[in-house]
Amino acid sequence: MAYITDTDALGNAIKAERRRQNITQVELAALSGVGVRFLRELEKGKPGCQIGRAISVMSALGIKLDVITRES
Amino acid sequence: MAYITDTDALGNAIKAERRRQNITQVELAALSGVGVRFLRELEKGKPGCQIGRAISVMSALGIKLDVITRES
DNA sequence: CCATATTAATCCCGAGAGGGATTATTTTAT
DNA sequence: ATAAAATAATCCCTCTCGGGATTAATATGG
């Protein structure tokens, strides 16, 4: 899967994984402890979404984030 | 480098990379197009930081983000 | 040890996030 | 094609983010 260079890519990745797991937005929102509306905006790539909540969602999905520097 | 599981880890990774490149917060903020205060809060792991700006900072640093799912 | 640069912590304020609920639109399945 | 489920788009509201500026604390070096 490609690198995340913007919020659209992040939203798409989250949405794809959610659908792969056959979970609805309502269910994932509940699992993550965020509002459904937040999850929708996150999946749509809204840049203003808060990082902490986004990480909660990814954790609930079992997604891991890797930071790659030139030296890593 | 370790996976990012919370905002503290993300902030630390960003700070470490900035220092490795010998850039000050003021310089990086200018390069990224964000305010210095935002950058400070980001590096300190404030969960409320906005994703879009965070990605701008990472782009300015040349950091790439990879989303890792069980299927990837 | 003192001067300077870098980082951190406030203050005020406007702009926007995010929650819940409702309604509309789209998608999926039968 | 129609019914049901899922997603999207509003509305109102409160709360906090984020910017700039200033002041304090910490780190770096001469």
Query: Does some domain include residue A18?
Result: yes
The string of pLDDT tens digits covering residues B28-62 is 999 999 999 999 999 999 999 999 999 999 999 99
Query: Does some domain include residue B66?
Result: no
Looking at the 3D structure of chain B, how many domains does it have?
Answer: 1
Question: Are residues B56 and A64 in contact, defined by beta-carbon separation less than 8 angstroms?
Answer: no
CA-nearest of A54, A69, A6, A39 to B52 is A6
- Nucleotide with smallest C1' distance to residue A36 CA: C19
pLDDT of res. B68: 93
Show which positions of strand C are touched by protein (CB under 7 A). 5-11, 16-21
Query: Does some domain include residue A66?
Result: no
Which amino acid belongs to residue B13?
A: A
Query: Does some domain include residue B69?
Result: no
The CA distance from A30 to B26, in Å, is: 39
Closest-CA residue of chain B to A54? B51
Residue A2 pLDDT class (50, 70, 90 cuts): confident
pLDDT of res. B65: 93
Residues 6+ apart with CB under 8 A from A11: A42, A43, A44, A45, A46
CA of B16 to C1' of D20 (A): 26
* Range A15-42 average pLDDT: 96
pLDDT of res. B70: 79
3-state secondary structure of B9: helix
Determine which of A51, A56, A57 to mutate to test the interface with B (most B C-beta atoms within 10 Å): A51
Cβ atoms within 10 A of the Cβ of A20, count?
A: 12
- Whether the CB of A20 is below 8 Å from some CB of chain B: the reply is yes
3-state secondary structure of B50: strand
- Whether the CB of A10 is below 8 Å from some CB of chain B: the reply is yes
Which CATH number fits the domain that encloses residue B25?
1.10.260.40
Residue B2 pLDDT class (50, 70, 90 cuts): confident
